[in-house]
Chain A
Amino acid sequence: MLCNTYKMTVGPMHSVTLYHWEPNANSGKPMLALMEKGVAFESHYLDLLKFDQHQPDYLAINPQGTIPAMLHGERVLTESTAIMEYVNEEFPGPRLMPEDPRDRWRVRWWMKLMDQWLGPSFSMIGWKVFVGPAVSSRDPGELQAAIERIPLPERRVAWRKAIYGQFTEEELKESQRRVALGIRMLEQELANRPWLASNQYSLADINGFNLAYALPLSQPALSNDELTPNILRWLRAIYARPATKACWALGRTNLVKRVTVLEQPHSGGGG
């Protein structure tokens, strides 16, 4: 069987290469999972703002032109959440999925909500205020050509809207509604237990941190020590982990400098 031939050529001892952007969103998930497991990997930084992810050499690895992608020996893996589960199962090191099957269900449920419901709303706002403005002043012809090279039609639409400021009021309002509701849901869940989906640190926390670490800064009226003490406690606990520090050191833009609020201890008493 195919799996067996792979088994012989790939194992925990084979080299790992990760193609990623900032330790943030989907890139940050496998980065932090690898760091937590203590797996050495070759880091390939792709500059999303320079469209590195749509260049032919990267498309040969991931034809969808999205980041991240991971090479392990001859294997090519995509989809950040599925990569994290692979990293957890394939390599020794601390277990990042709980033992209890129902806890594992909860980890996956939360990751899906963040990946497919909450994350896209964060992204839309982030692309409007950060990604779009960061590239829109470039040569119009060059931008046009860059957009046309994007393989996934959905991503092409998103880039076009970000570059030309075409997100509608209605869709931005809907994203803001989801962000506000998502914050309330996270706060409520984190009031129930120390970590997001179970009583142990898991992939759900890694996923959630990469989504939410900038919340106190980007949504200060909705997420702060008074309104969401449990979110702040949780973000600070993850931020303090050595793996997170090591991961953050791979960032090159201002994105990673936005977390000073997490370096401060809790301001409102309690924990």
Chain B
Amino acid sequence: MRMTLYHGEPNGPSLTVLATLFAKEVQAELVRIDLESGQRHTLPCAQEPLVAMSVEGEGAVLVVAGEAMTDSVFIACYLDDVGPGAALRPADPYGRWETMHWCRQMTERTAPAAAYLGCWAHPPKADAALLERIGSVDLRARWQQIAAGKFSADHLTDSRTKIHQATEKIEARLDGRQWLMGRFSIADIETYAWLAGMVRLVPAAFAAKPRTTAWLERVRTSPAVAQALALSRTGEPAASWSVGPEINRWG
């Protein structure tokens, strides 16, 4: 089946999808887009509802047989289903529940925090004409806040707390484990993809966490992740950010 993957620098959602693609040995045409300048919104599929309204914000888009797919964890599940490479989710239902539960916490609590802090430290820049094209009103509003340099002190503090909570959870989970789900999985890739850039921005969250530190290195040097990271054009993929999921407005 013909596939095209539109992706940005190997960080965040782009890293998840690229690393999964390589781990699963799936063939796809790779097309680089500049997520940090909003280039995703110039793709022919940009206004399709399942692209425009992706909860993840600016992420990779995989086009398969004419259908444009978004949301890195679910694209990863798809690739896990179709690719010949080693399975990236446990085979038993309980292990699969743990994986989906872990990724949900990651995308709902950690990803918005990481993207907020990432954009604060490395602001993406889209020009006014491009902002006009953004189909989702709330995603456009997040872009406009960033363009105006408006970062709330409360959100920044809360985001740092969320990164601390994530690394505490990882440190506890890695007690007796090399990988979050026992074997290398989508959970490792997704978690690394959001947290790699936080080591520099929230160093205290990683201090005195030897298991987390060793695991980060293990993921970084795992073949599929290393192959994805090698696609970086800036040499510093973890410093490349675009607008992410919104910070929970309800609870």
B interface, size bucket: 35 or more
Evaluate contact between B250 and A123: CB separation under 8 angstroms: yes
CB pair B53–A108 under 8 Å, yes or no, is no
Contact A109 B78 (CB under 8 A): no
Is residue B101 contacting chain A, with contact meaning CB distance below 8 A?
A: yes
For the complex, give the distance between the alpha carbons of A261 and B72 in Å.
39
**Chain B residue, CB-CB nearest to A158:** B251
Interface string of B71-82 (1 = CB under 8 A from A): 101110110011
Known: A3-B95, A109-B70, A112-B71. A78 touches B101 (CB 8 A): yes
Say whether B49 faces chain A, with CB atoms less than 8 Å apart: yes
Closest partner residue, chain B, to A70 (CB atom): B97
Interface size on A, residues (CB 8 A): 44
Q: Is the interface of B mostly helix, strand, loop or mixed?
A: helix
Looking at the complex, which one of B82, B96, B137 makes contact with A85 (CB distance below 8 Å)?
Answer: B96
Contact indicator A104/B78 (Cβ below 8 Å): yes
- Interface segment, one of A39-47, A149-157, A221-229, A247-255: A149-157
**Which 3 residue pairs across A and B have the least CB separation, nearest first?**
A120-B250, A154-B251, A101-B81
Within A123-160, the residues touching B (CB, 8 Å) are: 123-124, 152, 154-155, 157-158
A89 contacts partner chain B, Cβ-Cβ < 8 Å: yes
**Closest B residue by C-beta to A121:** B250
Q: Which residues of A contact B71 (CB under 8 A)?
A: 108-109, 112
A164 at the interface (CB under 8 A from B): no
Beta-carbon contact of B96 and A86 below 8 Å: yes
- A75 interface hit (Cβ, 8 Å): yes
Which residues 89-123 of A have a CB within 8 angstroms of B? 89-90, 101-102, 104-106, 108-109, 112-113, 116-117, 120-121, 123
A222 to chain B, nearest CB (A): 17
Contact call A105/B75, Cβ cutoff below 8 A = yes
Contact B182 A105 (CB under 8 A): no
Instruction: Specify which of B67, B97, B101, B182 lies most central, judged by the most chain A CB atoms within 10 Å of its CB.
Output: B97
Among A90, A108, A155, A188, contact of B74 (Cβ-Cβ < 8 Å): A108
CA distance A207 to B104 in the complex (A): 16
Task: Mark B216-250 against chain A: 1 for CB-CB distance below 8 A, else 0.
Answer: 00000000000000000000000000000100111
Tell me the minimal C-beta distance from B244 to chain A in angstroms: 13
Does A263 sit at the interface, judged by CB under 8 A?
Answer: no
A1 to B176 CA separation, bound complex (whole angstroms) = 11
**Partner pick for B55 among A82, A85, A116, A121, CB 8 A cutoff:** A116
A155 near B96 with CB under 8 A, answer no
Cβ-closest chain B residue relative to A90: B93
Residues of B within 8 Å of A123, CB to CB, are 250
A157–B249 Cα gap in the complex (Å)?
A: 10
- Residue in A closest to B95 when the chains form the complex, CB atoms: A3
Whether A13 is near chain B, meaning CB under 8 Å from some CB there, is no
Q: Does A2 reach chain B (CB closer than 8 Å)?
A: yes
Residues from chain A with Cβ under 8 Å of B93 in the complex: 85-86, 89-90
* A177 interfacial contact with B, CB 8 Å: yes
User: B74 touching A77 by the CB < 8 A rule?
Assistant: no
- Please tell me if the beta carbons of A177 and B92 are within 8 angstroms of each other in the complex: no
B85 interface residue, CB < 8 Å from A?
no
Residue pair A177, B137 in contact (C-beta under 8 Å): yes
Complex CA gap A83/B69 in Å reads 24
Q: Is the CB of B70 within 8 A of A154?
A: no
